Each structure stands twice: as structure tokens, then as C-alpha cells.
Chain A
Amino acid sequence: MDKSHIRNFSIIAHIDHGKSTLADRILEETHAVSEREAKAQLLDSMDIERERGITIKLNTASLKYICNDEEYLLNLIDTPGHVDFSYEVSRSLASCEGALLVVDAAQGIEAQTLANLYLALDNNLTIIPVINKIDLPNADIEKVKKELIDLIGFDEDEIILTSAKTGVGIKELLNEVVRKIPCPKGDNDSPLQALIFDSIFDSYRGVVIAARIFNGSLKVGDTIKMMETGASYEVVDLYIKNPWEVKKSSLSSGEVGYISASIKSISDVKVGDTITLLKNPAKDPLPGYKPMKSMVFCGLYPVESSKFEDLRDALSKLQLNDASLVFEPETSTALGFGFRCGFLGLLHMDIIKERITREFNIEIITTAPSVVYEALLTNGETFMVDAPNKMPDKTVLKEIKEPYIRTSIFTPSEFIGPIMELCQNKRGIYIGMDYIDPTRVNIHYELPLSEIVYDFFDKLKSYTKGYASFDYELIGYKPSDLVKMDILLNGEVIDALSVIVHKDFAYNRGRNVVQSLRKSIPRQLFEIPIQASLGNHVIARETVKALRKDVLAKCYGGDVTRKRKLLEKQKEGKKRMKQVGSVELPQEAFMSVLSMDENE
């Protein structure tokens, strides 16, 4: 198709502002799917996405749309909404010329509305502001309009009003996409440059690439070359999704599509790499993406040690379409062989854990998440500490720094007090507060990243009855007085339970951690002393008493099958625990080292 009739765009929004529903309505409006097929949120294809109501993976749909009697090809690239996945958002934005900035008519601008907007502006995209959910009884269109005008600087007449639920405004919105978003630039006659923005593993086709063609064109039978990895393959299939697969004989500049080339090796395909042709290669690759740094690390261990290779396999497969997941083998005295994995954030970690259990059927234990510390050694070297046990010895340590973030917390003003208290308890430094309108503020704090990796989101939600939204940006490393706290069970240090804490908070943390461990470790056949220590100095102690009762007193009228079933259930429960020395630890125990409150 002629480039002037192609529009590549994304939808960006704060979580729950109706992004996926709007995408579905656009598919319907362009007759890509019938109403019957428009199963809620078509583009969210993973079960976890549907269950949690969030989009994790990118998805694209190529749609035909008639405007002013002319046919246009609209490539819609869906994006995740959660703060953890801003990397994925920037990936999809790099393949677009425009973005719809969707704001909920009842909620107004939230933390991630702005975060995503800035990402889009960084990519020089044309923005179309959309106020969605105008059908809601509590919609306040005028107020949200004012926010868009005052806070971001849009003109009133460029704001589109829609209801993805009823379909109001969708046609107008699509016309605006055609009118306002520029068509892709690029040259069909130049050597091929295509940006890999996603990849999927298909058990029949191998690795399938999602790519945006920037220059040149590509047809079935061409031999492609990945500019960074150097791998070359013959193209077997080209297709677009509308959202069903439609085969294409070629893709040319400006277009977005899927490339299948019997690619067996997962490592040959790197998201962000540029594809060119083996015969007439481009001189330079496209800028690609800044590789995303993992923010949160934790150990992943199979409950059954024999599943180590299966776990490696699972992680490799997940990494294929999740470039932000990194892992390397790690050995723990307590847990055996496993992997140190890096994630974008806690939600990302949760989702990977869940997918490993669900899709690959491997029971795993995860150690408490930690951030990456920067250690300056006395010999002048800098050492990155991504696991508590890599903390250098005091004698060689000159200084230790930890990553800090700057928050944007959007909240109704009545919750300012509780939020400040929460941030203060998390070692926060107050920076300032912007009033969005008389009843809503944006609070800025500087917080150590390590303080938000665990329960900050949950706390924020409960402190503000769910009204606050949260986003953050990394602002770099700051020196901190940090120490490694060890946990001993039965007198033995359990390396997988060590945690890095601020010295001033160590005693409190130690006390909370051993208490929380006492609650999460079930009573066992013998008494288990739990200790927290700094170096050789024990700072807190609790005891899990020996199990005293585990018996079926009565056997029901000869119903011994039932007794057996109970024992089977008990055995299943045991299987989910990890044998660490002589102690059996449930998953919660590994998380309890992060517990902060006594009342937890």
C-alpha cells in the first residue's frame, strides 16, 4: 500500500482507563471483528492478562479504514499500562508515528498518564488526547478537559470525546488518526531496515518476529540478516494480523508485520535489533532501544532440584518475547541450583513467577526481591551487588550506594497525611507537592528503590482506599549506611534469607523478620530457633515450637479412604515447601524477610 495511506499508532493510558476496550471498539468499527467475535479485550491474549485486567504484552492489529472515500491501513500497536512495563511501551512507540492519550472521564489525569505521555513525546510522536468513558454517570468531562489543557497544554478543540462502551466518538477518533497522525516516512528503494519490536515462540513455526519496516521492502523467499546477532534466515511467511492472520507476499516501508523464517534458535532474535537483507544490506542499523536495566532481582529455585533444566528452558522461552527478563545460574547453599533473575519491577516478577508455574508446570521458590547496590571497594573498584550474598566484606568496602527514585503520587488531597507518613516510614525525603486542582495533588518524594519493591503499592492502595496512583523515575544512586542481615535457622545461616538493610533500621527489621518467620514457618517435628544477625552479633530471636499435634483422632465408620485423602493432601502441601537443611520452608518464609510492620 502507498505509504501516504498508512498510519501507525499506539494507545497509551493509565491502567484501567479503558485502553483495551477502546482497542476492541476500534477493531469493531473497522469491521475487523464482528460484534460476536469481540470477546472482551481481544488483544489481551494471555489468561493472566484477562484475569488481572492488564495488558502485559504488545499486540498489533492491521486494520482497513475508509475515510473520505479513500482506504487507509491503520496499524494499531497495543501497549501495556502498568508502570513496570514502560519499557514495552517505549518499544511500541518507537514503531509508531502517533499515539492516542486516553484519559478516564471520571478519574482524570493519573500518574501513568503523564509518564506514558512523556515517553511518547520522547519518541516525537503526534498525540491525540482522548477523554474516554464519557458515558459514566460520574464522568466530569469539563474538569478533565481543563486538566488536559492546563497540565499538558492541549487545545480544547483537539480533544476527542469517546465512550468505548457505547461506541460514541470512535468514528471521529479514527478520522482524526487519519487527519492528524503523519504517514510513515522512509524509502522503499533503500536497503532494508526493519526494527524487531517483539518476538513470539510458536511451536510450529519457531521464533516469529514482529517488525516495523522503516526503509526498503521484504518479500517471501528473501534471505534476511539480523544486524547485531549476524544470523541469517530465509523468509518463509509474512503476515499481518487484523487481528486474525492475513498472509502477505511482501512488506514495504512504513508497514508493520510478522516474519516467520523457521528460526530455531531463540538467541538469534534480539528485540531492538535491525533486520536487513543478506544480499543488499543496509550500512547502519536503526537506533534500536536502550537496553532496559533490571530493577529488581530475586533468586528462582525449583522446589524439586531435578527441575533445574526445565526451569532454564522455561526462562529462555519467556525471555524470547520478554527481553526485559534477564537470568543467570546461581547456587545457594540452602536452595541448591537456581537462577538469579532480573525484572523490571514487582508486577513483572509476579507475572513471570505465575507463568512459570502455570504454563510450564514447575513449582518454584523465589527469594525476597532486592535491588542492585553499588559498592565502592577500597581498591577503587566498583562492584554491583545484585544479591545480598554478593555484599563485599566490611574490610574491603569503602562505600555502598543504593538506587533512589522520585515519585509522582496523584491523590485526592485528603490522603496527603497518610501518604507522607508512609513515605517517611520508607526513608523518604520530601521534595514537594503540586496542586492539580483544589482537591488533587501530585506528591514528590525521593525514596530508596529498595523500599518500594515489596509492599509500597499495596500500602499506598490501602492508605488511600485505592484513590492514589503512583509512578516513579530513577534518579540515580546515593550513598547509604547499609548492612547485610543474616537469618539463622537452627543455628545455621540460610543464605537465601539474607537481606540488605539500612543500619538504623536493622534492629527493628530484625525483630519484625524473625517474628514474621515464626508465623510463616509451620511447626515441625523439632523446635526451630530463628535468629537475625549482623555479622556475628545476634539482634533478634524467636522460636518455632515443635509440632505437638498432627493426628486423626477418629476414623469415621470405617471410611479409611477419607483418612488417606487427608494424608494425601498433607503430602501435597509438603511438596510445595522447600527442604532447607532439616527445615521445611514454605514460599511465604522467603518473603517474610521483607516484612516491615509489627502488626503484619
Chain B
Amino acid sequence: MNSIHSCYIHIPFCSSICSYCDFCKLLYNDKWVNEYLNSLEKEINFRYKNELIQTLYIGGGTPSCLSINQLEKLFNIIKRIDLSSDYEFTIEVNVNDITEEKLILFKKNKVNRISVGIETVNNKFMPFLNRFCNKNDVLRKIELIRKYFDNFNIDLMYAFPNQTIDEVLSDLSFVVNLRPKHISIYSLIIEEHTRIFIDKVTPIDEDLESRMYYKIVEYLKFYGFNHYEISNFALNGYESKHNMVYWNNEKYYGFGLGASGYIDKCRYTNTKNISKYNECKYDYLSEEIDFKLDMEYEMILGLRKINGVSKKEFFNKFLSSIEDNFDIINLVKNKMLIDDGEYIYIPEDKLYISNSILVNFIGGSNSE
């Protein structure tokens, strides 16, 4: 599929910075926001070619930390994006920012999916993450969301230093009881340039982390969630359409500071420098996607999906088969991949070592 029908918009501001966060983010500063929104509007006008958009995602940072006025301004900008009839429009919110007024504003502006960052409800780990909430608050806020939105996601994390499997499951059970339609659960990654990296935090034992992961999968499946991507779970029919655009190697716009997009034959990443961005100097990096690279992306992204890559769809897109382009025979023989005739996928017990399998699809890169 060559036309663009997805769009990501980045709002980099946050009212406080989480210790592990490696996203493009800035501490909220009233002065910057208006300038930023002005530049964002220009970027959208510059790039957007009036395609009909099926998935729209406002992420951050913390989009919900903007004031009502600023949010109104943001939605005014977004108005010019044409949405299809079956669109999915998600906005990320921090549970502490939620107010009825904001929810009504979202609803009025066509948002139909909320993604709530909770990460943990265990007090023990809140100072470590530099994120704070309390369970009663969370319960109240989620009820408020439910009043306006049926479809919401909760983000959760695990693999904190000294965390036990029971503690992971206790967070998970709290979240499941909030009855979200979708759960994203990510392990803590100690990324360079983050607080916890600088503090030299030691990661937990990889065997324990792997056990945690498979416990989570088991638990959520038991509660009826469909495990459709390495870190994503949804009730049937509530898989995130926007996320699937990434894993299906489809095109999308990325607008905003540090945002990434894939248009024409190019994957690009915008500048992460707010001053440059506000001066409308958006460009930072771009990677030209040729035929071969496109196929590689198709595989390394597609294999994140539990269903894997459809052999037929691959053939229809590239007019040659997966087997003709990648040496998968040994991987299949060694049970690193399964070929069921229709799909090529990573078996469940190898999901947590998927990189070791994906490297086999990385070939003639520019660095060679």
C-alpha cells in the first residue's frame, strides 16, 4: 500500500521527567508551547498532502499536560487533517492530568481512543521511576475516562531492579481490573542519556526478566487478551490500528519535535532541538528506503507481530517470495521461525530473544 493513511503527532512537553524516559521530551514551559504549536502547524501544512487519514496518534511527552487553551489550539491545527469514516484517533494522557473538561474537549474533537500511562501502581517503585500516582486516584480517573470513552489502553512497565514476579502480577491484576481494551507492557530498558543510566542502575537478571515476560503473557491470555505483538495485548477487535501501521511497514507522517515518519521512499526523523524546530528547521535524519531495505523492514517489523509475516502479502508487495530473498531454511530448521505455509512467525518461546533471529534479516546496509 503506497498511499499514506496514518499520522503521528508529537507533543514533547511533560510536567515532570521520568527517570527512564528516552523519548524526545522537555519540561513543560508555557512560553515554548505556543511557538511550538505554531511551528507544528507549519510543518503539517508543509508536508501533509490531504490524504484521507485512518489512524491519528498524538503522543509524547505528555500531550495531556497542555492547558485547555493550548489543547484547543492543537485540535484546531489538526482539524485540517481529513479523517476517514473508520478512523482511530488516539491521544496519550498521564493519569494525573485527566480532568472531565479535557476529556470532553477530546471527545468533541473526534478523539476515540485514550492511552493512559500508569507504568506501576506499586509505591515501592514510584520514586525510582520518578512517577507518582495513587490507586484510588487511578480508579476515579479511569471511571471518568470510561464515561466518555469505551476504548482505552493502559501502559505498564516491569523488570524494575529488585522487582519480584508477584509484584509484576499484582500491578497487572490491578490494571486488568480497570477493564481496559488494550494493554501495552514494556520492560524497563536502561537507555543511555537517562537518569537511571547515569545513576548506573543494574538491570535485573535476564532469566528472571524472561520468566516475568512469559508470566505476563500467560496471565493476560487467561483474561481474554489477544497477544498480537511482542509487547501489546488487546481484547478482540481492539488491536491498535496505529501500531499495526508500523509493524506492517506502511507509510505514515510524523509531525513534531523528534518525530519519525515514512513517506515516499524515505524514513525520516525530525530535529530534536526545540529552538531549531520552532524556527521551522525540521529536518534531522533521513534514510532512503530502496527495494531491498524495504523487504528487510517488512521482515524485522512484521516478525514483531505474533502472527508474523503473511507469505502471500509479501509476495504481492515485492513480487518475489520471502524464501527467495532471505535464508530462512536454517532458522526454520532450528525452530527459530515457524513456517505454517501461510505465515512466517517467531514461535512464542523465542519471542523474548527475537533480536537474535531478526539480525539474520539485516543485510547489505550502508555501513558495510
Which A residues fall within an 8 A CB radius of B?
523, 525, 545, 547-564, 566-568, 570-572, 574
Contact = CB atoms under 8 A, between A and B. Distances in A.
A572 B368 CA distance: 9
Given A549-B209, A571-B362, A560 B297 contact: yes
Interface string B173-202: 000000000000011010000000000000
Interface string B260-302: 1110000101000000000000000101000000001100110
Contacts of A553: 186-187, 189, 230-231
Instruction: Name the residue among B23, B186, B353 with the largest chain A CB count within 10 angstroms.
Output: B353
8 contacts: A525-B356, A549-B209, A549-B210, A551-B230, A551-B353, A558-B252, A561-B287, A568-B365
Contacts of A547: 206, 353, 356
Interface string B329-368: 0000010100000000000000111111011001001010
A303 B355 CA distance: 22
B308 interface: no
Contact of B352 (A551, A558, A562, A564): A551
B313 interface: no
B353 A548 contact: yes
Contacts, number: 98
Given A554-B186, A564-B300, A570 B355 contact: yes
B8 interface: yes
Nearest to A572: B367
Given A549-B206, A567-B362, A558 B260 contact: yes
Residue among A547, A548, A574 facing the most chain B CB atoms (10 A cut-off):
A548
Interface string B45-63: 0000000000000010000
Interface of B: 8, 10, 22-24, 59, 186-187, 189, 206-207, 209-210, 230-231, 246, 252, 254, 258-262, 267, 269, 285, 287, 296-297, 300-301, 304, 334, 336, 351-356, 358-359, 362, 365, 367
Contact of A568 (B8, B258, B261, B367): B367
Contacts of B59: 557
A555 B246 contact: yes
A482 B358 CA distance: 47
A568 B22 CA distance: 20
B269 A561 contact: yes
A550 B354 contact: yes
B300 A567 contact: yes
Contacts of B207: 545, 548
A168 B267 CA distance: 64
B353 A556 contact: no
Contacts of A545: 207
Name, among B10, B206, B358, the residue most crowded by chain A CB atoms within 10 Å (CB to CB).
Answer: B358
B219 to A, nearest CB: 17
B62 to A, nearest CB: 13
A88 to B, nearest CB: 38
Contacts of A571: 359, 362
A435 B187 CA distance: 63
Given A553-B189, A567-B300, A560 B352 contact: no
A567 B355 CA distance: 7
B259 A557 contact: yes
Nearest to B289: A561
A412 B6 CA distance: 73
B352 A550 contact: yes
Given A551-B351, A561-B285, 16 more contacts: A525-B353, A547-B353, A547-B356, A548-B210, A549-B210, A550-B354, A551-B352, A552-B355, A553-B186, A553-B230, A557-B8, A560-B262, A562-B269, A568-B362, A568-B367, A570-B359
Nearest to B351: A551
A589 to B, nearest CB: 18
A549 B297 contact: no
Nearest to B354: A551
B107 to A, nearest CB: 24
A554 B358 CA distance: 15
Closest 3 CB pairs of A and B: A548-B210, A549-B206, A559-B260
